[in-house]
Amino acid sequence: MTAAGGTAAVDDAAAARLTTFEALLSPLGTELLATAAAALARGSELADGTRLRAAGHPPELVAAAFGQAELRSRAAAKFPAADQMFFTRPGLEQASSHRAAAHRAARFAGRGRLADLCTGIGGDLIALAAEHPVLAVDRDPLHLRMAVHNAAVAAAVDPVSRSGVRERGRVEPCEADVREVDLRGVEGLFVDPARRGGDQRMATGTSEPPLGWCFALADRVEAVAIKAAPGLRLDVVPPGWEIEFVADGRGLKESVLFAPALGTAPRRATVLLRNGEVATLTGEPDGSGDRSGDRSGDRSGDVADDALAGDPAGGLPLRPPGPFILDPSPAVTRAGLVGTLGRLVDGWQIDPRIAFLGIDRPVATPFARVLRVEAEMAFDVRRVAAAVRAAGVSALDVRRRGLAGDVDAIRRRLLPARRHLVPHGPAMTVLMTRVRDAPWAILCTELTAAQTGQAEAPEGV
Strand ranges (E), 119-218: 134-138, 171-175, 188-191, 196-197, 200-201
Q: Poorest-confidence range of 155-169, 170-184, 319-333? A: 155-169
Q: What local confidence, expressed as pLDDT, does residue 425 receive?
A: 87
Whole-angstrom distance, CA of residue 355 vs CA of residue 349: 7
* Mean pLDDT computed over 347-364: 91
pLDDT higher than threshold 90 for residue 168: no
Q: Tell me which H or E stretch contains 430.
A: strand 427-435
* Mean pLDDT computed over 422-438: 90
92-283 and 324-453 agree in CATH topology: no
**pLDDT tens-digit series, residues 138-151:** 999 999 999 999 99
Torsion angle of C-alpha atoms 113, 117, 119, 124, degrees rounded to 10: -60
So what CATH class is 92-283?
alpha beta
Q: Poorest-confidence range of 198-207, 272-281, 289-298, 364-373? A: 289-298
**pLDDT tens-digit series, residues 70-96:** 999 999 999 999 999 999 999 999 999
Q: What local confidence, expressed as pLDDT, does residue 288 receive?
A: 47
Q: Where does the pLDDT of residue 128 fall: very low under 50, low under 70, confident under 90, or very high at 90 and above?
A: very high
pLDDT higher than threshold 50 for residue 302: no
Q: What percent of the chain has pLDDT over 70?
A: 85
Contact between 351 and 307 (Cβ < 8 Å): no
pLDDT higher than threshold 50 for residue 309: no
pLDDT higher than threshold 60 for residue 299: no
Q: Where does the pLDDT of residue 276 fall: very low under 50, low under 70, confident under 90, or very high at 90 and above?
A: confident
Q: Where does the pLDDT of residue 296 fall: very low under 50, low under 70, confident under 90, or very high at 90 and above?
A: very low
Q: Where does the pLDDT of residue 457 fall: very low under 50, low under 70, confident under 90, or very high at 90 and above?
A: low
Contact between 328 and 300 (Cβ < 8 Å): no
Q: What local confidence, expressed as pLDDT, does residue 182 receive?
A: 95
* CATH number for the segment(s) 324-453: 3.30.2130
Q: Where does the pLDDT of residue 158 fall: very low under 50, low under 70, confident under 90, or very high at 90 and above?
A: low
Contact between 302 and 338 (Cβ < 8 Å): no
Better pLDDT: 30 or 294: 30
Torsion angle of C-alpha atoms 424, 429, 435, 437, degrees rounded to 10: 140
Q: Where are the domains of the chain?
A: 2-74, 92-283, 324-453
Q: Which of 291, 294, 348 is nearest to 317 (CA)?
A: 348
